[in-house]
């Protein structure tokens, strides 16, 4: 008796599974058809979402390409660097390029392009800047910017060298000398320069995963210094005031 019930239940379950599986296949087929018929729409939708995400992350200090390349070439401290930047702060409506402009508005237009409206306080004069992202830290400006002194055009790329912290800021001190301050959290990228033992930094971001070098596993940390653009330091070389002391949670050491 029990065997009959089990068999009946098995076949019933198998039939239900077949129906569900058939429904899933039909659903996926319909979506594939919709996608093939509306490829351009899907691409525009993805572009719009990416543009909106970038628009929320435009604050910080930006420098032009020639200065960016010069700093990478020299690899020397540049304590004046932030005075040579374009600074954008949406919260306080600031747009600074050596002169203080009022950031009157920032929005995404119907072509998913980011638009800044800058002007002068208590004055009707204003200019629109069309901001196009190459990646999250590279942009170029277009618009009616003649005579403003603001670099514009596809040939005048701007690079973000400092931005808002992505994690709660922590203070740290270098525990070794000639430590590379890297542009990206990896060993194959370029370096801004070198930090030395006793240098104080502020931690603003952390790699998602630890990175193994010479059998040791540590996180990369993005740090702010007084004399360089923001860059990445391997956790082994940082003594952090609070938190996990830079180590990959101690348990993430290489085995």
CB-based contact 162:82 (threshold 8 Å) = yes
Q: For residue range 134-147, list pLDDT tens digits in order.
A: 998 999 999 989 88
Kindly state the average pLDDT of the residues 142-162: 92
CA-wise closest residue to 222 among 241, 200, 207, 240: 207
Q: Which of 83, 80, 73 lies closest to 192 in space, CA to CA? A: 73
CA angle 84, 168, 236 (to 5 degrees): 85
The dihedral sign for the CA sequence 40, 42, 43, 44: positive
pLDDT for the residue numbered 49: 44
pLDDT category at 56 given cuts 50, 70, 90 is: low
Which residues, other chains included, contact 104 with Cβ-Cβ below 8 Å and sequence gap of 6+?
A: 93, 117, 118, 119, 126
Q: What is the pLDDT of residue 9?
A: 45
- Pairing of the two strands 170-174 and 158-162: unpaired
Band (pLDDT 50/70/90 cuts) for residue 17 is very low
Please enumerate in sequence order all residues whose Cβ is within 8 A of that of 103, keeping only pairs 6 or more positions apart, or say none: 88, 89, 90, 93, 94, 95, 116, 117, 118
Tokens 């509306």 sit on residue: 38
């Amino acid at each position: 008796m029990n065997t009959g019930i089990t068999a009946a239940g098995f076949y019933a379950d198998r039939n239900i599974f077949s129906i569900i599986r058939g429904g899933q296949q039909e659903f996926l087929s319909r979506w594939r058809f919709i996608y093939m018929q509306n490829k351009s729409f899907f691409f525009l939708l993805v572009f719009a979402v990416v543009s909106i995400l970038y628009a929320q992350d435009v604050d910080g200090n930006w420098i032009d390409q020639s200065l960016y390349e010069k700093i990478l070439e020299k690899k020397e401290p540049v304590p004046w660097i932030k005075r040579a930047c374009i600074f954008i702060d949406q919260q306080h409506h600031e747009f600074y390029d050596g002169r203080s402009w009022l950031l009157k508005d920032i929005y995404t237009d119907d072509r998913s392009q980011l638009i800044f409206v800058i002007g002068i306080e208590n004055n009707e004069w204003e200019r629109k800047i069309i901001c196009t992202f190459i990646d999250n830290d590279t942009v170029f400006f277009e618009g009616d910017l003649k005579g403003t002194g603001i670099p514009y055009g596809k040939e005048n790329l701007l690079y973000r060298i400092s931005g808002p912290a992505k994690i709660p800021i922590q203070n740290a001190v270098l525990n070794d000398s000639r430590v590379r301050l890297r542009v990206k959290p990896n060993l194959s990228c370029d370096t801004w320069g070198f930090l030395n033992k006793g240098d104080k930094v502020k931690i603003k971001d952390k790699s998602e995963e630890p990175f193994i070098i010479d059998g040791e596993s540590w996180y990369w940390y993005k740090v702010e210094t007084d004399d360089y653009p923001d860059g990445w330091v391997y956790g082994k070389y940082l003594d952090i005031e609070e938190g996990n002391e830079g180590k990959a949670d101690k348990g993430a050491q290489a085995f």
